[in-house]
Amino acid sequence: MFDLGAIQSSLSDFQLDGWLLYDFRGSNVLAGRILNIAPDQIGSRRLFYFVPTRGEPKKLVHRIEAGALDHLPGNKTVYLKWQELENGVKQLLGDSKTIAMEYSPRNANPYVARVDAGTVELVRGFGVEIVSSGDLVQQFEATLSDEQWDSHFEADKHTQSAFQRAWTYISDQVKANGSVSEYAVQQEIMRHFDEHGMTTYHPPIVGVGPNSGDPHYAPTEKNCASIQENDIVLIDLWAKMNRPDAIYSDLTKVGFVGSNVPEKYDDVFNVVAKARDSAIALVRDSFSKNEPLQGWQVDQVTRDVITAAGYGEYFVHRTGHSIGQETHGNGANMDNLETREERTVLRRTCFSIEPGIYMPEFGVRSEVNVLVSGNGDVHVTGGLQDSVLAFF
């Protein structure tokens, strides 16, 4: 629900003159959600909506789609010619000096960078400074309602049970046939999702041996390996309840097809688990002390553990990502590798913590999800795996 008062309060907190929300044919999904534009109502012409820190918002819409923003408060200007559009943007901004847009300096955070360079040039041409709306977006796009909070916990129940189904399926198939394909296990998980009213944008990762060392390995029917006794298997799965606004659960666990896990697997897992638990401890400590926490700090604490153990070169991705209606949501990521994530970790948001070590012969990742409540309580979902699971 669009909340003008809350937006203007945040703009005042950030000492901004306003927030200019722009969209063209759904190019800015963040603006679309904040402005309550349904996917089936996305138009074909450019629109602008300016929320000043004080006063009434202003709309700029095309004559063909003059009613595109009629569900929102504010005065409306209708343009037809491109000259009218450019002058209309100038009039929206008025005497504003510093505004927010879905922009990221040097494209450091592509999740936020939804406004094209030409539009940024246009706005800057009117003498206005543009800053990133990243933290604003978090507050009005990445924070969870009570219903979304509940949907994540419901999804978590079914994603956790999907692992048990997968381990049992692997064990049964290997005992009966000597092996089972990664693809067959993947499809068994997909059946589990379907039976429990879940949906996902992509089938899960099931990687055996060297394939577990590829963070984004994706088995297919024609390109997959066989799982046999004494193999290590990594499963990364993500799904949400199949209803509007539901929030994903995204988890990774590792198992061993045998009764005694080799020491080399346990040793690497223990490093990963220590890194994971260090990140969770930092989040809990920060919120218990009411201290601000940025995403890069969470990444760094896990990276320090893995580097100190001698595996730094094998940790090749960020520690975690925002989780929302997409698996990779629009809140702060836990990242000091691919970007320096300086957005604040907010209350009522969800994100993953998933350090990993990926070597040529095998890889280990342990992924859980973290939700911070409105009062700062930190909830960990997914189950804390404390060792490589032996399941044969």
The tens place of each residue's pLDDT in the chain, 392 residues long, gives: 789 999 999 999 999 999 999 999 999 999 999 999 998 999 999 999 999 999 999 999 999 999 999 999 999 999 999 999 999 999 999 999 999 999 999 998 888 999 999 999 999 999 999 999 999 999 988 999 999 999 999 999 999 999 999 999 999 999 999 999 999 999 999 999 999 999 999 999 999 999 999 998 999 999 999 999 999 999 999 999 999 999 999 999 999 999 999 999 999 999 999 999 999 999 999 999 999 999 999 999 999 999 999 999 999 999 999 999 999 998 999 999 999 999 999 999 999 999 999 999 999 999 999 999 999 999 999 999 999 999 98
Q: Name the segment(s) of the chain with CATH classification 3.90.230.10.
A: 146-390
Contacts of residues 313-316 at CB distance under 8 Å and 24 or more positions apart, as own/partner, are 314/357, 314/358, 314/359, 315/355, 315/356, 315/357, 315/358, 316/215, 316/356, 316/358
CATH class for the domain made up of 146-390: alpha beta
The structure tokens 């094998």 sit at 314
Q: Is 247 helix (H, G, I), strand (E, B) or coil?
A: coil
pLDDT of residue 312: 98
DSSP3 helix / strand / coil % (the chain, rounded to 5): 40, 20, 40
| Whether 251 contacts 385, CB under 8 Å | no
Fold of 4-142: Creatine Amidinohydrolase; Chain A, domain 1 (3.40.350)
Q: How far is CA 334 from CA 174, 253, 369, in A?
A: 38, 19, 12
CATH 3.40.350.10 intervals, the chain: 4-142
Among 23, 47, 16, 53, which Cα is nearest to 128's? 16
How far is the C-alpha of 38 from the C-alpha of 36, rounded, in Å?
6
pLDDT value, residue 43: 94
